[in-house]
A and B are shown apart, each in its own frame.
Chain A
Amino acid sequence: MNNRLKVLRAERDWSQQDLAERLQVSRQSVNAIETGKYDPSLPLAFRIAELFGLAIEAVFTSPSKG
C-alpha cells in the first residue's frame, strides 16, 4: 500500500528510528511499512495517522485508488 510516511518524516526531520520510537514499534516495522512491503493493521495505521495529526487517508493511499 502506497503511503506518504517518508515525506511526512522528512517534513519533521525524523529518522525511521525516531518514528519507530514515537510509535513504540521496531525500526524494521517502520521501514517495511514505508517501503510498502507490509501493510499495517488498522489500529497501527490509526496510531500513525494520529501521530502526524492527519486522517488515515492523508497518510495511506487506498489500494483501489492507488
Chain B
Amino acid sequence: MSAYRSPAIRRYLIRIIVLVILYLGFLIAAVTAFKAHAVSGIAAYGLAVLPALPVIGVFWAVMRMLVEETDEFLRLLHVRQCLFATGFCLTVMTIWEFLQNFDLVPPGNGGFGAAFFWFVGLGLGGLYNRFTLGTAGCA
C-alpha cells in the first residue's frame, strides 16, 4: 500500500502548467502584434480574445478537478474553496462597480478583472479551509 496521492490534483497541476504556458504565449503574441499595429478588423478581435481562452481553461480545470476527485473530504475542501472564491470575486467586483458608478475610482480595472480576483479568492479559500478545517487540502 502507498500513501494516497490524488490523481485528480496531479492532472489538475499538469493542466494548469500547460494553460499557463499557453496564456503567456498568447499574451506575448497579442501584445506584440497590437503594439506593432499588425492586426485589425476581425483578426484583432480574435487575437484580443486569444489570451482569455487559457484563463477560461483554468476555470474548466478547476471544475474538472471537482468532478474527478475521488477523496470526498478533499472534494469538499475544493468546493468550499471555489464557493469562497466566487463570493470574494463577486463582492470585490460589485464594490468596484459601485465606486465607478459614482466616479470615485477611475474607469477600467488596470487588467485586474474578475478572473484575477477569483484566483485570489481561491488562495484565500485555501486559507479559510486551513483555519476552519485544519487543512487547505493539497494531497
A interface vs B, CB < 8 Å? 17, 20-22, 24-29, 31-33, 35, 37-38, 40-41, 44
Contacts and interface: CB of A to CB of B under 8 A. Distances in A.
Given A26-B139, A31-B135, A35-B134, A21 B1 contact: yes
Contact of A25 (B2, B71, B133, B135): B71
B3 A17 contact: yes
A15 B19 CA distance: 38
Contact of A37 (B74, B134, B137): B134
B9 to A, nearest CB: 10
A32 B133 contact: yes
A20 B2 CA distance: 9
**Majority SS at the chain B contact face:** loop
A25 B137 CA distance: 12
A38 B72 CA distance: 10
Nearest to A18: B1
8 contacts: A20-B3, A21-B2, A25-B4, A26-B139, A29-B71, A32-B73, A32-B133, A38-B73
B4 A24 contact: yes
B6 interface: yes
Contacts of A44: 72
B135 A28 contact: yes
A37 B3 CA distance: 21
Given A29-B74, A32-B133, A35-B134, 17 more contacts: A17-B3, A21-B2, A25-B73, A26-B6, A26-B71, A26-B139, A27-B3, A28-B74, A28-B77, A28-B135, A29-B72, A31-B134, A33-B73, A38-B76, A38-B133, A41-B72, A44-B72
Contacts of B6: 26
